[in-house]
Amino acid sequence: MAVWGRVGVQICEAATTLFDKSKKTLIGDGSFHGFIAATLHEVPNAQAVAPDAYGALVYVQAGPTVQKRVSEILPGDVVLLRDARLKGHKGLTAYTLAVGQGEDVVGIVGEFEAKKSKVRVFQANQHVGQQTVESVSYRLDDLKSGTIKVFRVLET
């Protein structure tokens, strides 16, 4: 928890700042990993990351089953979605969402609601003509197939 207090808060603040700046300029190289690299570049004491390992693994969910939960998900953590298919309800309307098909979707956790198992993520926006970073919400209980991993970025 002490590691998160020093690095996690700074990462969350940097991601929020880059989200605000993204309306005017391209963040990183426009890819998901490019956004993570640009965010971590803003935090001087954050450890450098590889495209598939972003720090200590704190949460793994494959399909509807949670396989590993070392700690609560906290703002500033890095979330990775691979071939994820989410299916649930928003109000009275049913929804289906496919995320990370072909390329892994990676983002920074902005907030986590434990009661609803809902995570708000800052991630690169791949849609042309819109701002380059978007804020998206995923409900972890709605995962039907695929994998969600959450990493805690370590201090150097």
Mean pLDDT of 55-59: 93
pLDDT over 80 (residue 109)? yes
What confidence tier does 69 reach under pLDDT thresholds 50, 70, 90? Answer: very high
Q: What is the pLDDT of residue 145?
A: 96
| Summary mean pLDDT of the chain | 89
Q: Amino acid letter at 85?
A: R
81-107 tens-digit pLDDT = 999 999 998 888 999 999 989 889 999
Position 50 pLDDT exceeds 90: no
Instruction: Report CA dihedral (111, 114, 116, 119) to the nearest 10 degrees.
Output: 30
Which of the four pLDDT bands, split at 50, 70 and 90, describes residue 77?
A: very high
Looking at residue 5, what is its pLDDT? 65
What's the mean pLDDT in 23-38? 86
Do residues 93 and 51 touch, judged by C-beta distance below 8 A? Answer: no
Q: Report the alpha-carbon distance of residue 103 to residue 84 in Å, rounded.
A: 11
